[in-house]
Structures are given as C-alpha cells and as structure tokens.
Amino acid sequence: MTTVVSAQNLGLTFPTGDGDIVALSDVNLTIEKGDFVSFIGPSGCGKTTFLRTIADLEKPTSGSLTVNGLSPEEARRNRAYGYVFQAAALYPWRTIEKNIALPLEIMGHSAQEQAERIKRTMELVNLSGFEKKYPWQLSGGMQQRASIARALSFDADLLLMDEPFGALDEIVRDHLNSELLKLWARTEKTICFVTHSIPEAVYLSTRIVVMSPRPGRVTDIIESTLPKERPLDIRETPEFLAIAARVREGLRAGHSYDEGNQ
Amino acid sequence: MNRTGLTAMQLALALLAGGAALLGLGFGFSSFGTAPLLTLYFALGAASLVRLALPFSLWFDGALMLFGAVALILALPAEGAMPAHFWWALVASWAFAWLFVERLSAAIRQGQLPETGTGLVIPIIFGLALLVAWEVITRGANVPPVLLPPPSAIWARMTAEVPTLWADFVQTFIKSVLPGYAMGCLAGLIVAIAVDRSPFLKAGVMPIGNFMSALPIIGIAPIMVMWFGFDWQSKAAVVVAMTFFPMLVNTVAGLNAASAIERDLMHTYAANYWQTLMKLRLPAAGPFIFNALKINSTLALIGAIVAEFFGTPIVGMGFRISTGVGRLAIDLVWAEIAVAAVAGSAFYGVIALIERGVTFWHPSVRGGRT
C-alpha cells in the first residue's frame, strides 16, 4: 500500500475581524492508494476546508500535510489530483467536449491525444453523444457528470469531490452514486468525497471520516465492512444500517446534533 | 369587448377617425372639386362609422390609413398653408394608423398573426406616420424651412448632394471614427489588462482614467487640432480620448466576472497567468467588453462630428453641419444628420450582431437562466 494523503496534527485558522475561526484542528489522517474516503459532518466542521487544503486551495497554518509524499503545492503543480466542485463550473462558452479538453489544453496534450481522452472519459461517465452540446443545454446531473469527466480526463490518481451531488435530487443522486462506485472500481483511483448525507457516505466509502465543528476536527474514522460490490439495495441490509448508526453516533459524540450547531 | 369586436380604446379611436372624416367632409363641402381624392377619403372615412353595426377587418383600417396619408400629401398646396379642413384628414389618418397598430398588435398577441414579419410592420408604420405628420405639418402650416424643412425637401437635398455627403461620410466616418474607435478600444482593453495585473497601475491609472473621462470634449477638441493638425488625425485623437475610458472601466470590471469556483478550477490545473486570462477571464469578460464596444460606437461618431466644429479641411459631417447652419442651408444640415443617424445605427447594429455571435452563451443573449 502506498500512502496518498498524510496529515499530521494539521490545523488551519482563518483570521477574521471578529476573531480567529479554527476551521481545522489537530487532524491526523492517512489515505492509502485505492481508498474511497468520505468526509461527513455538519456545515462548519471543516470537511470542505480539509479537501481544499489537500488541493492547495487553502494553506494549513500548523502541522504537516503531504500528497504523494510531496507538499500540496508541488503535488498540484504535478497535476496529482482532479477536483470536482459543488457546482459543475463548466465554462458556458465551451461545448461539453471542449470543457473536458480544458485541462488537457492547459497541460499541453496533443490534439489527437485530447480527442482520445475526451472519447474515453465521456464513455466512462455515460455522456457519449453530448459532445457538441453546451453546458446550459444539459440537466444538472449531466453537467455534474461532465465535470467528473473533466476531472478524470488527465488521469490523475487522486479524485477530490466536494459534495458533487449535493444540488441534485435524490433519484439522480442514487443513480450517480452507483455509477461513481462502478467508475471507482474500473479506474482504481483514490477518491476523497465530502458529503453531508449519511446513506451516501456509507454506501460509497471504504472509510468514513466523521467530523464535528467548533473547532473543526475528526471525531471518528470508520472502516466499512461492506463488500466492494454494492447494489443499491445494500442500503437495507443490517450491516449497512449498523455502519450508518455508528456514523450517527460519531456525529452525536461530536455534539453535531446539539442546538446551535444546526 | 362588445358587439363591434373592439376594446374601449379601439372603439374610441374608431369614433375619432370616423368623426374627423365626417367633419372634414362637412367643412370641405364647398371645395369639392379642388381635391377629389381627399374628398373620397373623407367619404370613406365617414362611412367607416358603420362598423358600429357591422364589424370589419383590421386591414380596412390599414388601407384607410395609407389612403389618407397619400391623398393628403397629394392634396397639399405647393405654396402657402393648406385649407383648414385638411387638418381633419391628418387627424383621421393618424387615428386610423393608431387603430390599425392597436388591432395588429392585439392580433399578434392573441396568436392570430405570426410574429415574424408582422412584428416589424409596427415600427415601420410608426416611423412612416411620424414622417407623414412632419411633412403635412411643416408644409400645411407653412413652417419656415429655416426652422424645420419638410422631409421631402431633406430627401431632395440628399439625392442632389450625394457626392458631397459621400465625401463627408468618408472623411468623418471612415477616416476619423473607425481608426479612432479601433485605437481607443484596443488601448482601453490593453491598459485594462495591465491595470488588472498590477496593483500599482490600478492605484495610479484608474484615477487618471476617471479624470480623462471627465474632460469636456469641447475643451479637448481644439487642443487636439493644435497637436495633430486640421485633418482627420486630430478627430481620431478626440475619438480615442472618448472611447478609451468606457472600455477601460468595463474591461476591468469584466475581468473580475469569473466566479471563484471557475478560478479555483484553473488553480487546480496549475494554469499560468496567460492561460487563465485567455481561457477563462477574457471570455468571461466578453459581455462587458461588448457593452463598451456598443457604448463607444455611438460616442465615437458624436466625438468626431463635434471635433470637426473646431477646424477641419473643407470636408466632413461636422464641418458641413456648422457651415450649413451659418449659411441657413438647414435642409443640408438635416441631410447630414440623417446620414449620421443611419451610419451610427448601422455601426451599433453591426457590433450588436457580432456580440450575439460571440457571447451567444450568455443568459442575456440566449434568453435562459445561468
């Protein structure tokens, strides 16, 4: 096993006019290659901040963090990860295939290689046939698939996903969740997935990191005992419900259900 | 709605039109022979009052409007004011036009007529009605041509003076406006990108740009003439000074139009400054840049014409207007104004068309949500 992300005593404090906000405090976590790790917790628990710190979109103020054994900035410059944001953030003046080509253009791939990769990743997310459409001609679910294809197109081993399905309705979300699992199995990538849905976290992950707010910290890390092959109805099995109960317990232990934390 | 199939508004207009025609028929009874066409029009207009019992199509109103305008213009005396009862024809014709447009737009709204084509008819009718009223009032009331010449006189002057007007157009529009516009807009764009990159420039250039925009064009035009000579170069310089600032301000705002997520995305790709600029920030600034291009298209023409008031070779639209007023050749002034209005609208229209093609993705163009 190779370690992809390793955080030791990681802390991040945002100074504001109203005093400092401790977004992350004393986070210790190791993510191995091939893991599917979900981060769950109420808003303000630092799950998105942690993901952004891995992506070098935020700088930690204490502790150490390595990505593929390098600093987050070096890893970013090596294009070590693909990032999927809450919103699809597709550029409206580009067609879907041109949006997927965007990172490839920036990274200097040849036109022929771009075409091959676009074709492959669009098949991977089941979006073939929509190459020439503009983002605003597609539904929210399809836009988010295109943004996943864009993050996959340059073949980074690490995929960082920040509540990618948060804005979608439950039916579309279920469908995309099961597709994401298949995609993960096929590509053998390491995935970090931020969510605030307990069923989503339990259904997808090999490990679930439970976080709580004020200060943002890790309260529990749960290893999933579910098999790698997961049909959607696995969510009714006692094993699944037991893990979900442990997540809920972890959230309660972090006072995430207290009044004033809602 | 009532038995006649008209709304209260339409009914009032129908009564006004028919009533005015009836009055015209009555007052003009003595001069039957002088204007037979107009008398026929009065008779038909008065007969239209039978619509109170027997509704008829909106196209009859259209035909009466057209017939009235033609009959009235043909009946206008060559010299002096027109007989008093002719005014009733103008009132009737105007009311028929209004009624026709009312009923036409109502029919389009209710889907009885297709929108394409008919939608264009209404502004055309409106413009023509304005021209007819202008013609009839100036000639009918014997308005001195120095105050306001009738459109027919302006048109006659335009056709007679095509070579002069063309030379003026080339001097002002092709030689002054276009180069000045291109230089001013390009300079504004480039400085905006530099200002955006450097906080020092932002602090230093923006206030100067603000100051420049506040300079009165009347003040800088003579100075530009002293600096760059009498020919088109000084006019182009005024146009540069006028168009630079709107482009600068709009582009600086537009470069910040890309959202935080869109920028973060570029950051995760480790894109460099120029890649982010070309692939994200400039395209996102497109609607702002085109806004400036549209504002500048009209500003540029105004600037060039006004600048020509302060010394030119003996050609140019501004020169012709200022000397035309001095020589009381008001119809020539109006002809230049008409050329300037057409050229300015066409320039604006071309920029707007290009905008639709380039920023097709923007919600304001495609008419959708973000």
pLDDT tens per residue, range B207-221? 887 777 777 878 888
- Cα B279 from Cα B134, distance rounded (Å): 53
- What band does B340 get if pLDDT is binned at 50, 70 and 90? very high
Interchain CB distance below 8 Å, A92 and B362: yes
Range B54-71 average pLDDT: 85
Whether chain B has a CB inside 8 Å of the CB on A103: the answer is yes
Give yes or no for residue A149 having a pLDDT over 70: yes
Give yes or no for residue B83 having a pLDDT over 50: yes
Range A137-164 average pLDDT: 89
Interchain CB distance below 8 Å, B361 and A92: yes
Write out pLDDT tens, residues A21-50. Answer: 888 888 888 898 889 999 998 888 888 899
What per-residue confidence (pLDDT) applies to B219?
83
What per-residue confidence (pLDDT) applies to B178?
94
Tell whether the torsion through CA atoms of A138, A140, A142 and A148 is positive or negative: positive
Residue closest to B165 by CA, chosen among B324, B302, B280, B309: B324
Task: Point out the least confidently predicted range of A185-194, B72-81, B190-199.
Answer: B72-81
Whether chain B has a CB inside 8 Å of the CB on A87: the answer is yes
- Cα B26 from Cα B20, distance rounded (Å): 10
Interface list for chain B against chain A, based on CB atoms closer than 8 Å: 259, 261-262, 264-271, 275, 279-280, 283, 286, 359-363, 366, 368-370
Range B146-158 average pLDDT: 90
What is the value of pTM for the model shown?
A: 0.82
Please name the member of B270, B280, B362 whose beta carbon is closest to the beta carbon of A76.
B270
Write out pLDDT tens, residues A204-240. Answer: 899 999 988 888 888 888 888 888 888 888 888 888 8
Interchain CB distance below 8 Å, A93 and B265: no
Range B318-333 average pLDDT: 88
Contact pairs from chain A to chain B, CB under 8 Å: 54
Give yes or no for residue B122 having a pLDDT over 50: yes
What per-residue confidence (pLDDT) applies to A80?
87
* Beta strands at A217-223 and A158-162: parallel, antiparallel or unpaired: unpaired
- What band does B370 get if pLDDT is binned at 50, 70 and 90? very low
In degrees rounded to 5, what are phi and psi of residue A208? -120, 120
- What band does A257 get if pLDDT is binned at 50, 70 and 90? low
Range A1-12 average pLDDT: 84
Give yes or no for residue A171 having a pLDDT over 90: no
Whether chain B has a CB inside 8 Å of the CB on A86: the answer is yes
Please name the member of A87, A93, A106 whose beta carbon is closest to the beta carbon of B261.
A87
Write out pLDDT tens, residues B342-351. Answer: 999 999 999 9
Give ipTM to 2 decimals.
0.88
Write out pLDDT tens, residues B265-316. Answer: 999 998 899 999 999 999 999 999 999 999 999 999 998 998 888 877 888 8
Residue of chain B nearest A78, judged by CA positions: B270
Q: What is the DSSP letter of A66?
A: E
How many angstroms away from the CA of B323 is the closest CA of chain A?
50
- What band does B3 get if pLDDT is binned at 50, 70 and 90? low
Interchain CB distance below 8 Å, B261 and A85: yes
Q: Assign residue A46 a region: left if phi > 0, alpha if psi is -120 to 50, beta otherwise?
A: left
- Using an 8 Å CB-CB cutoff, list chain B residues near A76: 267-268, 270
- Cα B58 from Cα A171, distance rounded (Å): 54
Residue of chain B nearest A73, judged by CA positions: B270
- Cα A149 from Cα A133, distance rounded (Å): 15
Mean pLDDT of chain A: 87
Interchain CB distance below 8 Å, B269 and A103: yes
Residue closest to B152 by CA, chosen among B141, B168, B166, B138: B138
What per-residue confidence (pLDDT) applies to B1?
47
Interchain CB distance below 8 Å, A86 and B261: yes
Mean pLDDT of chain B: 86
Write out pLDDT tens, residues B245-262. Answer: 899 989 999 998 889 999
The residue type at B150: P
Whether chain B has a CB inside 8 Å of the CB on A81: the answer is yes
Residue of B262, B265, B288 to mutate when probing chain A, most A C-beta within 10 A: B265
Whether chain B has a CB inside 8 Å of the CB on A77: the answer is yes
Top-confidence residue, A76 or A18: A76
- What band does B110 get if pLDDT is binned at 50, 70 and 90? confident
- What band does A157 get if pLDDT is binned at 50, 70 and 90? confident
Q: Are A207 and A224 in contact (CB under 8 A)?
A: yes
Interchain CB distance below 8 Å, A91 and B359: no
- Cα A194 from Cα A165, distance rounded (Å): 10
Interchain CB distance below 8 Å, B264 and A57: yes
Range A125-150 average pLDDT: 89
Interchain CB distance below 8 Å, A93 and B283: yes
Residue corresponding to tokens 């002809």: B335
Residue of chain A nearest B285, judged by CA positions: A93
- Cα A78 from Cα B100, distance rounded (Å): 70
Q: What are chain A's domains?
A: 1-31+49-78 (3.40.50.300), 79-206 (3.40.50.300)
Range A118-133 average pLDDT: 88
- Cα A30 from Cα A10, distance rounded (Å): 12
Percent of chain A with pLDDT over 90: 22
